[in-house]
Amino acid sequence: MATLALARALNLGLRRALESDPRVVIMGEDVGKLGGVFRVTDGLQRDFGEDRVMDTPLAESGIVGTAIGMALRGLRPICEIQFDGFVFPAYDQIVNQLAKLHYRSRGTLTVPLVIRIPFGGGIGAVEHHSESPEALFAHIPGLKVVACGNAADAYTMIQQAVACDDPVIFFEPKRRYWERAEVDTDAPLDQAFPLTAARVVREGRDVTLLAYGPSVKLALDAAAAAAEEGREIEVIDVRSLSPLDFHTISSSVSRTGRCVVVHEAPVFLGFGAELAARITESCFYRLEAPVLRVGGFSIPYPPSRLEEHYLPDVDKILDAVDRTFSY
- What integer best gives the mean pLDDT of the chain? 97
Residue 42 is part of which domain span? Answer: 2-191
What pLDDT is recorded for position 134?
A: 98
| Total domains present in the chain | 2
Same domain, 22 and 167: yes
Q: Are residues 143 and 276 in the same domain?
A: no
pLDDT at 1: 87
Residues 6+ apart with CB under 8 A from 296: 132, 264, 265, 266, 267, 270, 310, 311, 312
| Shared-domain flag, residues 232 and 274 | yes
**Co-location of 98 and 215 in the same domain:** no
* 209-231 pLDDT tens trace: 999 999 999 999 999 999 999 99
Q: Could you tell me the CATH number of the domain that includes residue 238? A: 3.40.50.920
Tell me: do 239 and 210 sit in the same domain: yes
Q: Are strands 168-173 and 114-119 parallel, antiparallel or unpaired?
A: parallel
Residues 94 and 243 placed together within one structural domain of the fold: no
Residues 59 and 187 in one domain: yes
Residue 161 · residue 146 · CB < 8 Å? yes
Q: In CATH, what number is assigned to the domain containing residue 151?
A: 3.40.50.970
User: What are the tens digits of pLDDT across the range 80-137?
Assistant: 999 999 999 999 999 999 999 999 999 999 999 999 999 999 999 988 999 999 999 9
What pLDDT, on a 0 to 100 scale, did the predictor assign at position 126?
Answer: 81
Q: Within this chain, do residues 305 and 237 fall inside the same structural domain, yes or no?
A: yes
User: For 94, which DSSP code?
Assistant: I
Q: Are residues 271 and 245 in the same domain?
A: yes
Catalytic residue (one of 128, 129, 139, 263) = 129
Residues 43 and 151 in one domain: yes
CA distances from 4 to 78, 147, 221 (A): 22, 18, 20
Query: Of the residues 142, 166, 191, which one is the last residue of a structural domain?
Result: 191
- Say if CB 240 and CB 198 are below 8 A apart: yes
Task: Say if residue 102 is in the same domain as residue 186.
Answer: yes
pLDDT in tens, 246-303: 999 999 999 999 999 999 999 999 999 999 999 999 999 999 999 999 999 999 999 9
- Given strand 292-296, what is the order of strands in its sheet? 199-202, 233-237, 207-211, 259-266, 292-296
Tens digit of each residue's pLDDT (9 = 90 or more) over 136-171: 999 999 999 999 999 999 999 999 999 999 999 999
Are 204 and 234 in contact by the 8 Å Cβ rule? The answer is: yes
- Please give the angle made by the CA atoms of 84, 316 and 212, to the nearest 5 degrees: 40
Q: At which of 191, 221, 254 does a domain end? A: 191
Is 129 one of the annotated active-site residues of the chain? yes
Same domain, 88 and 178: yes
Backbone angles phi, psi at 295, to 5 degrees: -165, -160
Per-residue pLDDT averaged across 166-184, rounded?
97
